């Protein structure tokens, strides 16, 4: 069934119960309901904690859907460029209810990347927040297809229209739009080693499948509360929240990652499930060790599950976590945006003895590991991981060649190299692509390499991932200088200051960049030289 029917069911059955809570710890502690928030003159000052019931959630989505239809945007592609906030999910579902296609954008995108993505996805409108005014203002004259800029927040810029008054005037009734599982629902962005994002098209069936997968894996019930910290543009965060949607349970959107904020939110909101990235889990443990967090001051007995995704998980971290939180269940998932996020491979809380593995085929999924001819490899041999299920994307939008390269007979070829142990558990060995995963975010080496090559002192450069205890991997730039030139790490770091912070190399190494006879950089040689072993091997050994 279309994913929107789950929201409508929850509104009918649990209308007065809280569905969503937004907490912004940087603002003063003032609790308001959604209705109270709509009435205050200066809502920006009243946003420490806001909440919304299931009925309000559904009505708000209906209002936005009716606005879309009134604007003639039914069936159009509408971008969402917001930080996590109470409006995010109602906007998303409003787009779907209108029969339109939601296009979430990474809030770290530069102006040029935003322009590239909205043009690739053929977006006709964009909903955005305060943080993105400057970026959109610099490109709005160069994106003529987008006619509607809808602004969420205070201080609406001149090129946009304010969201709140537009939506408030719309009817809260369900729009007369018939949806089916086969209707297109969303476009998410991924990228290959070139660093240019691909537009991943999904149907309603994919989204609904991911909700069922998540609830099956983690057993969400009505009395659960999910603390959501990662950004909602990310398929991982959204699809884990789909478990709350499926079960009709509360979720809390926490705007901030400080350890004390996370622990306080778990305590005050009675969170039972928390999805963390590796750095956040390590930061929490470090803060406890330093005495900055005294667990006796918090109510944490209800917290039953901690799960981690988006990057390889060091077994040593989970051993340390279990020593502090011995009653916690632990789980991990593997997935891609092309497979509608996490869950196509799943470890399972009962398999903590297999930490280091990504698991077995998830609920409703099939997996296989194949050689270069597409034939299954023998158990224990390394090959490319492939997945098949209702959550596989329809295609890369407007890119038939790229689609055909990864979709074959319903199987999605992930580009990740893996092996299966004697018990049937899958371990990632290396990535076929050169994407670096640092703190759960993807870095694309070619983008960083192209930027560094603009430096007149640099002859050649290669960017690789090095193992890092906290972030999983860090980007290291191996730089070959031109003959007679000199430079040091400080100078290179200053040159990289124009890059977004998360894209800057964390380590600079001056060395010769090896290339093969066809001119391609031999990154395996560099990894062997500076890592000595694969990332996963290092983590398993730890």
Tens-place pLDDT, residues 413-427: 998 888 999 999 998
Helices (H), 357-488: 400-406, 445-452
Contact in structure between 165 and 39 (CB atoms under 8 Å): no
- Least confident interval from 75-89, 281-295, 385-399, 417-431: 417-431
CATH code at 305-431: 2.30.38.10
Order of strands across the sheet with 123-129?
A: 161-162, 148-152, 123-129, 77-81, 101-104, 184-191, 197-203, 395-396
Residues 6+ away with beta carbon under 8 Å from 42: 154
**Residue predicted with more confidence, 537 or 135:** 135
Return the DSSP state at 381: S
Q: Which two tokens stand for residue 506?
A: 């964390």
Can you give the residue ranges of every domain in the chain?
Answer: 4-256, 305-431, 436-541
User: CA-CA distance, 335 to 123, in Å (whole number)?
Assistant: 26
pLDDT value for 339: 95
Residues forming beta bridges with residue 461, ordered by sequence position: 479
pLDDT band at 516 (very low <50, low <70, confident <90, very high): low
Of 3.30.300.30, 1.10.3720.10, 3.40.1190.20, 3.40.50.10470, the CATH number of 436-541 is 3.30.300.30
Task: Quote the percentage of the chain above a pLDDT of 70.
Answer: 91
For helices 235-247 and 4-14, the axis angle rounded to 10 degrees is 40
CA distances (Å), origin 264, targets 43, 257, 259, 511:
23, 11, 9, 47
**Residue for token digits 């730039």?**
477
How many Cβ atoms from other residues are within 10 Å of residue 517's Cβ?
Answer: 5
The phi, psi pair for 230, rounded to 5°, reads: -65, 160
User: pLDDT at residue 497 above 80?
Assistant: yes
CATH code at 4-256: 3.40.50.12780
**Residue for token digits 């889990």?**
281
Helices (H), 235-293: 235-247, 259-269, 278-289
User: CA-CA distance, 304 to 437, in Å (whole number)?
Assistant: 27
pLDDT value for 245: 98
Q: Among candidates 266, 261, 243, which has minimal Cα distance to 328? A: 266
pLDDT value for 36: 65
- Least confident interval from 190-204, 232-246, 312-326, 335-349: 190-204
Q: Among candidates 289, 327, 321, 326, which has minimal Cα distance to 308? A: 321
Helices (H), 104-175: 111-120, 133-137, 163-168
Region 33-53: mean pLDDT is 68
């Amino acid at each position: 069934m279309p994913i929107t029917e789950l929201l409508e069911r929850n509104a009918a059955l649990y209308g007065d119960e809280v569905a969503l809570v937004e907490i912004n710890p940087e603002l003063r502690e003032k609790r308001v309901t959604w209705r109270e928030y709509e009435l205050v003159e200066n809502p920006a000052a009243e946003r420490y904690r806001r909440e919304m019931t299931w009925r309000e959630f559904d009505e708000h989505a209906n209002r936005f859907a009716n606005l879309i239809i009134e604007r003639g945007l039914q069936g159009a592609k509408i971008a969402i460029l917001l930080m996590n906030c109470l409006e995010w999910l109602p906007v998303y579902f409003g787009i779907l209810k209108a029969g339109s296609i939601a296009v979430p954008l990474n809030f770290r995108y530069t102006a040029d990347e935003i322009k590239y993505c909205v043009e690739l996805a053929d977006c006709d409108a964009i909903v955005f927040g305060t943080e993105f005014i400057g970026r959109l203002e610099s490109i709005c004259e160069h994106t003529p297809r987008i006619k509607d800029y809808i602004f969420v927040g205070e201080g609406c810029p001149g090129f946009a229209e304010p969201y709140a008054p537009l939506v408030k005037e719309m009817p809260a009734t369900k729009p007369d739009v018939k949806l089916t599982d086969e209707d297109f629902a969303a476009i998410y962005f991924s990228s290959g080693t070139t660093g240019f994002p691909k537009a991943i098209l999904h149907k309603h069936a994919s989204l609904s499948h991911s909700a069922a997968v998540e609830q099956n894996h983690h057993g969400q019930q009505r009395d659960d509360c999910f603390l959501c910290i990662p950004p909602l543009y990310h398929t991982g965060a959204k699809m884990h929240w789909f478990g709350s949607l499926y079960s009709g349970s509360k979720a809390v959107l926490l705007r901030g990652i400080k350890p004390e904020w996370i622990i306080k939110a778990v305590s005050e909101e009675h969170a039972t499930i928390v999805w963390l990235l590796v750095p956040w889990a390590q930061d929490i443990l470090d803060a406890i060790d330093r005495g900055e967090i005294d667990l006796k001051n918090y109510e944490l007995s209800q917290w039953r599950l901690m799960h981690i995704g988006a990057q390889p998980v060091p077994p040593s971290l989970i051993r340390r976590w279990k020593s502090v939180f011995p009653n916690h269940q632990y789980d991990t998932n593997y997935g891609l945006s092309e497979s509608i996020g996490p869950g196509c491979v799943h470890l399972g809380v009962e398999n903590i003895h297999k930490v280091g593995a990504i698991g077995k085929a998830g609920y409703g999924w099939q997996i296989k590991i194949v050689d270069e001819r597409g034939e299954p490899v023998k158990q224990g041999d390394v090959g490319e991981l492939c997945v098949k299920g209702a959550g596989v994307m329809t295609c890369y939008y407007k890119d038939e060649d790229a689609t055909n390269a990864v979709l074959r007979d319903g199987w999605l070829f992930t580009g990740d190299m893996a092996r299966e142990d004697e018990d049937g558990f899958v371990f990632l060995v290396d990535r076929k692509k050169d994407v670096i995963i640092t703190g759960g975010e993807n870095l694309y080496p070619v983008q960083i390499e192209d930027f560094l090559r603009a430096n007149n002192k640099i002859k050649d450069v290669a960017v690789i991932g090095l193992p890092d205890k906290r972030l999983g991997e860090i980007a290291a730039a191996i730089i070959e200088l031109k003959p007679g030139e000199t430079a040091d790490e400080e100078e290179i770091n200053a040159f990289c200051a124009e890059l977004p912070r998360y894209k800057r190399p964390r380590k600079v190494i001056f060395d010769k960049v090896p290339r093969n006879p066809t001119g391609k950089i031999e990154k395996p040689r560099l990894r062997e030289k500076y890592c000595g072993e694969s990332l996963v091997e290092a983590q398993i050994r730890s």
